[in-house]
Every structure is written in C-alpha cells, then in structure tokens.
C-alpha cells in the first residue's frame, strides 16, 4: 500500500476559510477515491494560512478490478432472420472492444437482450489521481474566490506551488500556471526553502524540521495555550481563552509564538467588555484576569515568527493597543457626559427599516409593548414601569460614541450606561440582554425583564416586516426574521410563558398606527402564525422530536407556544403506552367523520330521547361522565391524563362504530349521532390532530 500527499501552496488564505477548506478537501477526495474504486486507509486534511495538505494512507496503487455486465440491443435487433449479426450488434461490439464469441443472451423484464462481460478497473492510482486532484482543487468552495493574471483558475488566493506525491513518484498535472511537483516552501522567515520532498511521508516532518512551521492546527493551538498560560501565570493571572478567537488565531499563524504585553493600569477604568472587545476584535489578542476575576493590565497576542528583538516587537504591539484603548476611554467619558434624553432625541433621525420609521418610533412602540407584556404574561415578576422604561431606552446606545466605534457592544453598553446613569437594575439588565438569543444555540436572556424586551423587539420587527409583505422566501432573509422567530419560541418555551401569539402580533401591528400596509393586518397576522408554526416545527425536529407527533401537535394549534409544548410532551409519552396505535386509529376515524360533515353545522349536544341502539346509549353514558372530566383536565393543562382517557373511552367508541349506523337515512338520528362524535372529537382535536398520525 502507498501513501499519497497533496499540498496546495498559496498566498495567505483568511483564517475563516480554513476549516471549510479542510472539510471540503477531505470530503471531496474521499468521494472521488470511492467513485474511482481506489481502496485507502485514513484520510486527513490540515491547513496553515499558506497551504492546505491532504494525506491518504494505505492507498492501493492499483484500481480495484471488477466484472461488469454491459447490456446491448434486443436479440431480435442484434441478429437478422438468418441469425447473423446486424449492424446494431457490430456497433455494440466495437464500442465495448469485444468479439462475437463473447456475446451471451440474458432475460430481462423487457425481453431477451444480448450482453457482454467486461472487466473494468486495474488502472494505476497515479493516473487516476492526476485527474482527481485538479478537479477537486478547482471545486473547493470558498466564501470568496479570485482569479489572478490571465489565468482561468479560481481559488481563495493565488496559487504558488503544488506538491503531489504517490510514495516517491510525482503525480503530474497542471493547474493554471502551476505544475505539480515535489518542491515545497516553508515559513517566509524561518525556513523559506524551496525544499525537495523525496517521499510522500516526508512532507510533514520536513515542513516542521526545515520549514520552521507547525503544520497541524491542533499542535499550533497547543503551543499557543501552553505558552500563553505560562506567561500569564508569571504575572499572577490566567488567559481569558475564547474558543472562536483561538480558532482564528491558530489559522493566522504557521509558526505561533505567544507574547504577553502590558498596558497602563489607568485604562482599567473602562468597562471590562470594552477592553476585551478592543483586544479581541481589533488586535486578535486575549485578556488576562487575576485570581479575583478582575482584568489585569496585560494582554496575550500570538506572533507568526520568533523575532530577533522580542522587546521591540512587544513595545510595538503595546503602542498599537494603547491607541485603541485611548479611543475607548475617550468615548467612555464622552458618553457618560451625555444623557439618555439626548440619545433618544437623536434616535428620531436614525432609520429602523425602510417604511417602518425611525428607531425613535420603534422605542416608543417597544415602551408600550413591553408594558403590555409585563401586565399580561409576567405574573407580577416584572414591574410594568420597569418593562416600559427598558423598551424606551432599548436602542439609545446605538447613537453613543462607544457603540459607534464598537458596534458589537450594542445592548451591552446600554446596560452599562443605565447602571451608571441611575436606572433600575431590572432596566439595566434587560438592556444588556435584549438581543439574546442570537441563534438556535446561543444563550437566552437571564432575566425575565430581558426576556420581555427581547420578545417585544422581535415581535415588533416581525409584525412590521410582514405587514409590508417582507416575508422570507427560500434562503433570503435580509432582516433576520427566522432568527427573530426562533428567539421568541425559545424564550417562551424556556420561561414557560403563557403567550397568545395572535394577540401579541395583533397588538404589535396596532402600535404602528396607520401605515400603508401591503397586507391587511389580519392577513399579516395569519401569515405570521403560519410562519411561526413552521419555525416551531423545524425547531422541534432539530431537537429530535418525532415528526408525526410534531405535526399532530401543531395541527391542534400553536398560537400558545407553551401549551403546544406541553401537548407535544404529553403526546410523546402517550405514544409509548400500550394501546396507543389502536386508540389513534379509532379517533382518526372519529376525526375524519367529523371533518367530512363540518359544513353541516354540527352540534356538540345530543338528545337522549333519540338514542335507540344499546351501543349509542352506552357511548352517551360514557361521554356524560368523561366530557366534564376532559374539560377540567384540559383547563388545568394536564394533557397526559387527558390523552389517557382515550384508552378509557375507546371501547365504547369501537362498540358504537360496530353496532350503529352513523350515517343513517333518518336526518334526526344521523345528526344526533354526529353530535356525540363531534362532542368527543372536538375536544380531542384541541389536544392533537389525530388525522396527522399514520399508523
């Protein structure tokens, strides 16, 4: 078995491209080897800013051979009346390189056909790889691709060299101006090269020993973390490692060298969040904190070389960061001199979304919507005044100097300024948490006040956009409405809020006042509820819930998200009970009959005087006892017990269907019997849509 290595050398590729590049390189190469019947062992892909490397171990140097039956024309077409080969058969033989003696006949569903057996495969792996490599490289997807010079090849950055070796042999191919070979390059400073790679397995050791680079991302991370922890410990602190930044930094370096820098302790008066944002976003550096959890006047950065004068480089990094921190301190003091009233006035000149008015108008709507939510769903846990104040101040920090400089701190700075300017703790925390959650897996607001503000903000955006007909289609969602919807669902489910979505969106649209809506408010709300139900379906499916149970739950309504969640939980538990399948079949029949007669003005009260058959009298007696209990259970939200009554009533319903003609000719009898079924079916229809359950 052989080893194959491919190295794609280029100008520095952005670090955010590297994980996708590694994954796609491995996935596409694995598929290509499988398609070409090349047996292999482990495949691994790795990358640095200037190279992507693929290593294939235990590769069969010869393609697997296999026999294949190739069908030709029908026998009646292949031979003439005298049994001699026709031109059709002769053409088939020429195409497949066969002789008449190799032809045999086979029966197929379409009749008798001629066929030949061919052995395919056996090609040299090197020849196949020469075709696979350029095809895979040119197909690698990047967020941005470029062409350079007069070349037609598109890649993330200009290609500089390609190493392609099968053991000791070069796999020859060309990609634009670059031909594959055995020549590689190392670090620009510590091992420039070029270096000749003798064997495929020599590439990684050569890059490490002579090229001065650390090719494996995991090894680069280990160097960064170990060195960073050691330097931070020397000043009595620990590095505030942030995984996303660590991934980015390991993708920015080939020769990582951690360096601890310092800054003046006077900058620690600026909020922690601002200091960390300055370090992380602008300098790709990490903060350092002491044993008491307070920031220390140090930062950890990662160089891509070992400098001759570490002190000189350290002073350079400190000078650059000092300029950023000086800007932050200036904005901090300037913002503290401003008032919320000043910022709220400026919000009237900031556009929200197109025809939806200004941010000032939005905060006035949020003020009223937050008060409404506090009064209707907070159960006295949040003061309506605090909720309203949070809504009014929610976007004030957008016009602050600090957020103008560090836009990722919107909301966070609002909370910090609220604390400094004397607002209540409830308001300050709500402002901090208003943009949470930012996605399906991100943290939720930690306070009910923050949850209410987040709900109001998202509901306002959804209502306004749907009113203007700006509804997401396919992958297009420029206003992040899907994210808004998921945020509402997660908050309601996590906090267990009893929230009527129809009432919420109706209220949100009313607060916009008279506007030239594209959709009538009632139509917009209907489309919003349909949209929310679709998001809820996807959310539950993503959490592993059974699709049929989800559809049955949503079929009974999803305007109250918490209620729908309780019903789904109860239905999932009920689906594991003995007799579940039989009960579903029975009540699917009930639901179908009631649905077909829905246009006949069905009643849910029956006349005992019209009961004739023993089974219908028995069912009526069962319902007289059951229906009040069922209404009580549903009213208390005890859906598990409500669903279990299906097992209790099913025998009476089955006996009713077996012994009574429901759709009889007598109109009064038919309506009376349908009324019993409707009384039962309509109650269970509020729990689940049994017609959606397939047994």
Beta carbons of 666 and 613 less than 8 angstroms apart? no
C-alpha 507 chain-centroid distance:
30
Distance CA 177, CA 159 (A): 8
Measured distance CA(574)–CA(606) in Å, rounded: 29
What is the predicted pLDDT for the residue at 72?
85
CA 623/CA 657 separation, integer angstroms = 15
Phi/psi of residue 603, nearest 5 degrees = -100, 165
Question: For residues 524 and 517, what is the distance between their CA atoms, to the nearest angstrom?
Answer: 9
Average pLDDT over residues 568-578: 92
d(CA 148, CA 156): 11
Lowest mean pLDDT among 100-104, 158-162, 370-374: 100-104
Query: Which distant-in-sequence residues (6+ apart) come within 8 Å of 86 by Cβ?
Result: 77, 78, 79, 80
Please return the burial class of 329, using the count of CB atoms within 10 Å of its CB with bins 0-12, 13-18 and 19+.
middle
Rounded to the nearest angstrom, the gap between the alpha carbon of residue 131 and the centroid of all alpha carbons in its chain is 35
How far apart are alpha carbons 289 and 235 in whole angstroms? 10
Provide the residue ranges of all domains of the chain, joining segments of one domain with +.
2-62+124-185, 66-120, 217-337, 342-544, 564-692
Lowest mean pLDDT among 55-69, 198-212, 265-279, 467-481: 55-69
User: How far is it, in rounded angstroms, from Cα 2 to Cα 126?
Assistant: 11
Mean pLDDT of 203-221: 94
Residue 207 to residue 219: CA distance in whole angstroms: 13
Tokens encoding 87: 């031109």
Tens of pLDDT, residue by residue over 103-138, are: 888 888 888 888 888 777 778 888 889 999 999 999
Superfamily of domain 564-692: Isoleucyl-tRNA Synthetase; Domain 1 (1.10.730.10)
Domains 2-62+124-185 and 342-544 share a fold: no
Torsion angles phi and psi, residue 530, rounded to 5 = -65, -40
644 versus 476: the higher-pLDDT residue is 644
Cα 657 from Cα 677, distance rounded (Å): 10
pLDDT at residue 598 in the model: 61
Lowest mean pLDDT among 417-421, 653-657, 664-668: 664-668
Give the pLDDT confidence of 494-519 residue by residue, as tens digits.
Answer: 999 999 999 999 999 999 998 899 99
Please report the pLDDT score of residue 117 as a whole number: 83
Q: Which two tokens stand for residue 73?
A: 């024309």
Please give the backbone phi and psi of residue 71, each rounded to the nearest 5 degrees, phi first.
-80, 145
DSSP H or E segment with residue 163: strand 159-166
- 524 C-beta neighbours (distance < 10 Å), count: 24
Distances (CA, A) of 104 to 107, 120, 471: 10, 18, 62
Number of H-type helices and E-type strands within the chain? 26, 16
Residue 636 CB neighbours (<10 A): 10
Question: What burial class does residue 457 get, using C-beta atoms within 10 Å of its C-beta: 0-12 exposed, 13-18 middle, 19+ buried?
Answer: buried
For 267-277, what is each residue's pLDDT tens digit?
999 999 999 99
pTM for the model stands at 0.80
Asked whether the predicted pLDDT for residue 404 surpasses 90, the reply is: yes
Helix (H, G, I), strand (E, B) or coil at 313: helix
List 9's β-bridge partners, or say none. Answer: 51, 161
pLDDT on residue 695: 60
Residues 6+ apart with CB under 8 A from 643: 570, 571, 574, 687, 688
The CATH architecture annotation of domain 2-62+124-185 reads: 2-Layer Sandwich (3.30)
Q: How far apart are CA 439 and CA 298, in angstroms?
A: 32
- How many Cβ atoms from other residues are within 10 Å of residue 278's Cβ? 25
> Taking 90 as the threshold, does the pLDDT of residue 441 lie above it?
no
Using one digit for the tens of pLDDT, what is the confidence trace for 443-459? 999 999 999 999 999 99
Best CA proximity match to 626, nearest among 601, 656, 646, 597: 646
**Predicted confidence band of residue 263 (pLDDT cuts 50, 70, 90):** very high
pLDDT confidence of residue 267 = 96
Q: What is the CA radius of gyration of the chain?
A: 35
End-to-end Cα separation, the chain, in angstroms: 52
Instruction: Tell me the sheet residues that pair with 118.
Output: 68
Residue 599 has a pLDDT of 58
Closest CA to 433 of 451, 457, 416: 451
The Cα–Cα gap between 145 and 143 comes to 7
Q: State percent of the chain over pLDDT 70.
A: 99
Average pLDDT on 333-357 reads 94
Residue 374, CA distances (Å) to 280, 393, 403, 497 in order:
37, 16, 28, 11
What is the per-residue DSSP string for 91-149?
Answer: HHHHHHT--GGG-EEEEETTEEEEEEEEEE---BHHHHHHHHHHHHHHH---SS-B--T
**What average pLDDT does the segment 521-529 reach?**
96
150 against 422, higher pLDDT = 422
Q: pLDDT band at 525, cuts 50/70/90?
A: very high
Q: What is the pLDDT of residue 588?
A: 85
Question: What is the per-residue DSSP string for 375-421?
Answer: HHTSTTSS-HHHHHHHHHHTTGGGGSHHHHH-GGGTTHHHHHHHHHT
Please give the CATH number for the structural domain made up of 342-544: 1.10.3210
Pick from 190, 189, 219: nearest CA to 204: 219
Average pLDDT, the chain: 91
């Amino acid at each position: 078995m052989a080893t194959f290595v491919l190295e794609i050398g280029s100008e520095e590729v952005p670090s955010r491209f590297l994980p996708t590049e590694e994954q796609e390189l491995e996935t596409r190469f694995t598929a290509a080897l499988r398609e070409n019947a090349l047996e292999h062992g482990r495949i691994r892909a790795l990358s640095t800013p200037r190279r992507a490397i693929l290593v294939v171990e235990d590769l069969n140097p010869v393609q697997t051979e296999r026999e294949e039956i190739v069908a030709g024309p029908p026998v009646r077409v292949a031979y003439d009346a005298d049994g001699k080969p026709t031109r059709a058969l002769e053409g088939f033989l020429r195409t497949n390189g066969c002789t008449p003696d190799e032809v045999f006949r086979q029966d197929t569903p379409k009749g008798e056909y001629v066929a030949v057996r061919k052995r395919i495969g056996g090609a040299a792996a090197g020849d196949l790889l020469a075709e696979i490599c350029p095809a895979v490289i040119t197909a690698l997807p990047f967020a941005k691709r470029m062409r350079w010079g007069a070349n037609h090849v598109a890649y993330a950055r200009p290609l500089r060299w390609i190493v392609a070796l099968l053991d000791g042999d070069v796999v020859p191919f060309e990609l634009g101006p670059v031909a594959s070979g055995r020549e590689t390059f190392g670090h620009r400073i510590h091992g420039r090269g070029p270096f000749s790679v003798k064997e495929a397995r020599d590439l990684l050791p050569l890059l490490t020993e002579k090229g001065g680079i650390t090719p494996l991302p995991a090894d680069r991370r280990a160097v960064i973390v170990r060195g960073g922890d050691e330097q931070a410990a020397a000043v009595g602190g620990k590095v505030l490692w942030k995984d996303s930044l660590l991934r980015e930094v390991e993708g920015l370096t080939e020769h990582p060298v951690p360096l601890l820098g310092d800054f003046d302790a006077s900058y620690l008066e600026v909020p922690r969040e601002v200091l960390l944002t300055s370090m992380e976003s602008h300098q790709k550096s990490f903060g350092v904190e002491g044993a008491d959890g307070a920031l220390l006047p140090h930062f950890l950065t990662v160089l891509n070389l070992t400098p001759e004068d570490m002190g000189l480089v350290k002073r350079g990094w400190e000078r650059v960061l000092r300029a950023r921190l000086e800007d932050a301190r200036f904005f901090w003091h300037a913002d503290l001199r401003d008032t919320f009233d000043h910022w709220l006035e400026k919000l009237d000149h900031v556009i929200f979304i197109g025809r939806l008015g200004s941010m000032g108008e939005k905060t006035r709507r949020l003020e009223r919507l937050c008060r409404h939510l506090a009064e209707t769903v907070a159960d006295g846990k949040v003061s309506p005044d605090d909720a309203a104040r949070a809504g009014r101040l929610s976007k004030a920090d957008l016009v602050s100097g600090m957020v103008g400089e560090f836009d990722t701190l919107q909301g966070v700075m609002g909370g910090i300024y609220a604390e400094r300017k004397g607002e209540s703790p409830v308001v300050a925390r709500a402002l901090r948490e208003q943009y949470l959650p930012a996605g399906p897996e991100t943290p939720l607001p930690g306070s009910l006040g923050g949850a209410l503000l987040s709900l109001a903000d998202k509901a306002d955006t959804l209502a306004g956009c749907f009113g203007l007909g700006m509804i997401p289609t396919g992958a297009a969602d420029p206003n992040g409405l899907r994210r808004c919807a998921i945020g509402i669902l997660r908050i309601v489910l996590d906090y267990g809020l009893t929230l009527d979505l129809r009432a919420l969106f109706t209220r949100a649209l009313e607060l916009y006042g008279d506007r030239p809506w594209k959709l009538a408010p009632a139509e917009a709300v209907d489309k919003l509820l349909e949209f929310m139900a679709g998001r809820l379906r996807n959310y539950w499916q993503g959490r592993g819930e059974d699709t049929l149970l989800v559809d049955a739950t949503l079929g009974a309504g999803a305007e109250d998200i918490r209620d729908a969640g309780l019903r789904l939980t109860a239905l999932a538990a009920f689906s594991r009970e003995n007799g579940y399948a039989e009960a579903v079949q029975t009540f699917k029949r009930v639901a179908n009959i009631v649905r077909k007669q829905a246009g006949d003005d069905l009643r849910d009260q029956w006349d005992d005087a019209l009961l004739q058959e023993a089974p219908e009298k028995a069912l009526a007696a069962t319902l007289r006892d059951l229906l009040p209990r069922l209404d009580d259970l549903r009213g208390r939200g005890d859906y598990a017990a409500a669903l279990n009554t299906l097992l209790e009533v099913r025998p009476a319903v089955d006996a009713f269907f077996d012994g009574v003609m429901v759709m009889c000719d007598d109109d009064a009898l038919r309506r009376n019997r349908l009324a019993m079924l409707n009384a039962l079916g309509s109650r269970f229809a509020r729990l689940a849509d049994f017609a959606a359950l397939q047994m």
